[in-house]
Structure 1
Amino acid sequence: MTGLVALPSNAPGGMDAGLGAHFGHCDLYTLVEVEDGQIKSSKVVPNVPHQQGGCMAPVQYLAGQGVKMLIAGGMGMRPLMGFNQVGIDVYFGGNATTVNEAVQALLQGSLPRFTQQFTCGGGGQ
């Protein structure tokens, strides 16, 4: 598995940060570069305001950062479809508590693909 993984994170971000419960309402994103099943590097980027493009603004922003995969605990159907349209694979990280734990689970192949059954009505519900 190779590519850039985005994870909604609680401040201050990084590998030990708590995993944000909902992708669109997180403080920031931790971006983790994985190559051949190994973590190569990580960096923290801010979230973008919803006002400019609604819940699609973070989708476009992360696509522009070169993200190929996203791990989230919750999101609505519209952004999930948006991630699919821009070629970002979304995984459900509901049981992970930290960024590192979620990335390790992804690398081990134990995270399910995020499907409609995991979506919420939006607004962090």
Structure 2
Amino acid sequence: MNNLRIAIPSNNPGGLDAGMGMHFGHCDIYTIVDIEGGAVKTVSTLENVPHVQGGCLAPVQHLASHNVKALLAGGMGMRPLMGFRQVGIDAYFAGSFATVGQAVQAFIDGKLPAFSTEFTCGGGK
């Protein structure tokens, strides 16, 4: 695995020990993890942007503007999934993990499926 920046919807305060924020657009904060050579290099956080009805693409653009290349999430609607594809961010389903760190390790180990329409929801929380 080459150098890669990933974002994980998280509960406050973020970080590897934080709980997963299961719906990407409604999370408190994003944990941003830079992976280098198959290992965690740096961990930081990024505030979410306001998510209003129909505004699901705002968080997509926000993450893209911070050079995120992959998203690990438990839920999202079809519209943002298409948005992530359009901006070149790969989305992976990580809904079965309690903490951000567990999801990140599963990603590094290649154990997360690509987010597909079977994982999408109708929106909301």
Q: When the two structures are superposed, what TM-score results if normalisation uses the length of structure 2? A: 0.96
Aligned length: 124
1:61-111 CA-partner distances (Å, limit 9, x unpaired): 000000000000000000000000000000000111111100000000000
Per mean C-alpha deviation after superposition, the further-off stretch among 61-70 and 42-51 is 42-51
In the alignment, is residue 12 of structure 1 matched against residue 35 of structure 2? Answer: no
Partner of 2:45: 44
Unpaired stretches in structure 2, ≥5 consecutive residues: none
Shift in Å, 1:36:
1.4
The RMSD of aligned alpha carbons is 1.2
Per mean C-alpha deviation after superposition, the further-off stretch among 105-114 and 51-60 is 51-60
Partner of 1:27: 28
Partner of 1:78: 79
Partner of 2:4: 3
Partner of 1:114: 115
Per mean C-alpha deviation after superposition, the further-off stretch among 5-14 and 49-58 is 49-58
AA aligned to 2:105 is Q
Unpaired stretches in structure 1, ≥5 consecutive residues: none
Shift in Å, 1:51:
3.9
Per mean C-alpha deviation after superposition, the further-off stretch among 46-55 and 104-113 is 46-55
Partner of 2:63: 62
Partner of 2:104: 103
AA aligned to 2:101 is N
AA aligned to 2:87 is V
Shift in Å, 1:33:
0.2
Q: When the two structures are superposed, what TM-score results if normalisation uses the length of structure 1? A: 0.96
Identity, % of aligned pairs?
62
Partner of 1:91: 92
